[in-house]
Amino acid sequence: MKKNIILIGFMGVGKGTTARAFAKKYNVYNIDTDDLIESKENKEVKKIFEKKGEAYFRACEQQTADWIEKCVKGTLISCGGGFYKVNNLKKLGTVVLLDASFEWIHNRLKTAKNAEAKLAKRPLFSKEKEAKKLYKERENAYRKLADVVVDVENFTLDEQIAFIAKKCKV
């Protein structure tokens, strides 16, 4: 795989799950922008929001995007839900959107085995009404940026990763 695959989509849509399954099946490395920021800042995303604020976190995301553009090749990159706002997203690789309705995502998070932990680590998902508003604000922007759109509601995980591999010629 020469070009990076940039996996975007709303919080809780399953970017991490899909990325890990893809990495295993196609023998590529997967890195996650939230993990990169957490290790560089030596703080969990939730704590960065609490202690330094959202604007600081967004600046970390831009710094991460700049590093990826310069240094990362042939890698699957799963992105935090707001990472699409960086000014060089399209330069980072093929942009793949995991797409699902807000209701489906909300249900996925609520019914997950570790639902509490999944919600607790996402400061912007703490209030359902606010999260839905954010979803509405973002859905068109996500679609506009995407080179490939994956309908995760109607495909199994295996089907999703096969579809991404085909579209990205992996």
Binding positions for ligand S3P, rule: CB under 6 A: 11, 34, 45, 80-82, 122-124
CB 74 within 8 A of CB 30: no
Q: What's the closest the beta carbon of residue 118 comes to ligand S3P, in angstroms?
A: 8
Question: In angstroms, rounded to a whole number, what is the distance separating the alpha carbons of residues 96 and 77?
Answer: 10
Q: What's the closest the beta carbon of residue 152 comes to ligand S3P, in angstroms?
A: 13
Considering the complex, state which of residue 27 and residue 111 has its C-beta at the smaller distance from ligand S3P: 111
Considering the complex, state which of residue 136 and residue 166 has its C-beta at the smaller distance from ligand S3P: 136
Considering the complex, state which of residue 116 and residue 169 has its C-beta at the smaller distance from ligand S3P: 116
Considering the complex, state which of residue 57 and residue 93 has its C-beta at the smaller distance from ligand S3P: 57
Q: What's the closest the beta carbon of residue 166 comes to ligand S3P, in angstroms?
A: 25
Where do the H-state alpha helices sit in 6-151?
15-26, 33-41, 45-52, 54-71, 102-110, 115-120, 128-145
Q: What's the closest the beta carbon of residue 87 comes to ligand S3P, in angstroms?
A: 16
CB 85 within 8 A of CB 15: no
